């Protein structure tokens, strides 16, 4: 029975994931000064504080990205299309000022484990001590930021979805594991 619990826990972690930092999607315009400040805070601070954080930047001046921006404005229940708009987990932020930084951190940490929060606090302290050295030693974190391309996303969405296939395969693996564990107990 103990083996089955371990297998169940591993499958649960694979299927549902573990409690990580909430990811950020930032909708911006290249000509917006507040967008530049928000993007700088994210790229110079947050991606280093939270090693699991992923950031997606969406340039709203690109025609292919406008529809996704309209949808997020509606989802966040904003009356204007002002930028930047940052979606962190389930929380929306419009505009940017330094006083928002702690609220953004809290939104990132909503589902994080205590140990992940402790790592973030250590990283924040290390950044405060010697930011340049910390960023240099963690230069790989720049890859946490990716640019959204609505045209590429549309092409990817045009094909058939394979989510059902992966779900079916997962169920088959769980079923097979259950049969194998039960078969060994009977012997």
Cβ atoms of 93 and 32 within 8 Å: the answer is no
Domain 20-148 adopts which CATH fold? Glutaredoxin (3.40.30)
Instruction: Quote the strand ranges of the chain, DSSP E.
Output: 24-28, 55-59, 85-88, 91-94, 145-147
Instruction: Spell out the domain ranges in the chain.
Output: 20-148
**What predicted TM-score, i.e. pTM, was given to this entire model?**
0.71
CA distance 106 to 48: 16
| Cα angle value 41/107/125 (rounded, 5°) | 55
User: Which pLDDT value is given to residue 13?
Assistant: 41
- What pLDDT score was predicted for residue 178? 62
Q: What is the mean pLDDT of residues 170-177?
A: 69
pLDDT digits (tens, 9 = 90+) for 29-81: 999 999 999 999 999 999 999 999 999 999 999 999 999 999 999 999 999 99
Lowest mean pLDDT of 74-78, 79-83, 152-156, 164-168, name the range: 152-156
Strands (E), 4-119: 24-28, 55-59, 85-88, 91-94
Instruction: Give yes or no for a contact between 86 and 104, defined as CB atoms under 8 angstroms apart.
Output: yes
User: How much is the pLDDT for 149?
Assistant: 81
Q: Please, are residues 89 and 107 in contact by the beta-carbon 8 Å criterion?
A: yes
pLDDT score at 94:
97
Residue 119 confidence (pLDDT) above 80: yes
Residue among 92, 90, 100, 84 nearest 33 (CA):
84
- The most confident of 18-22, 105-109, 175-179, by mean pLDDT: 105-109
């Amino acid at each position: 029975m103990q083996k089955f619990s371990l297998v169940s826990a591993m499958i649960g972690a694979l299927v549902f994931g573990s409690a990580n930092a909430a990811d950020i999607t930032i909708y911006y315009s290249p000509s917006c000064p507040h967008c530049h400040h928000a993007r700088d805070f994210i790229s110079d601070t947050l991606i280093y504080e939270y090693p699991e954080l992923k950031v997606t930047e969406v340039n709203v001046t690109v025609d292919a990205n406008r529809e996704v921006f309209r949808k997020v404005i509606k989802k966040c229940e904003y009356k204007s299309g002002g930028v930047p708009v940052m979606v962190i987990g389930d929380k929306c932020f419009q505009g940017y000022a330094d006083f928002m930084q702690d609220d953004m951190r809290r939104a990132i940490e909503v589902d994080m484990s205590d140990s992940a929060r402790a790592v973030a606090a250590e990283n924040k302290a290390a950044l405060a001590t010697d930011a340049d050295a910390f960023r240099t030693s963690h230069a790989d974190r720049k890859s946490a930021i990716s640019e959204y391309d609505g045209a590429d996303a549309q092409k990817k969405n045009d094909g058939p979805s394979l989510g059902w296939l992966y779900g079916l395969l997962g169920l088959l693996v769980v079923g097979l594991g259950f049969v194998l564990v039960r078969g060994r107990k009977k012997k």
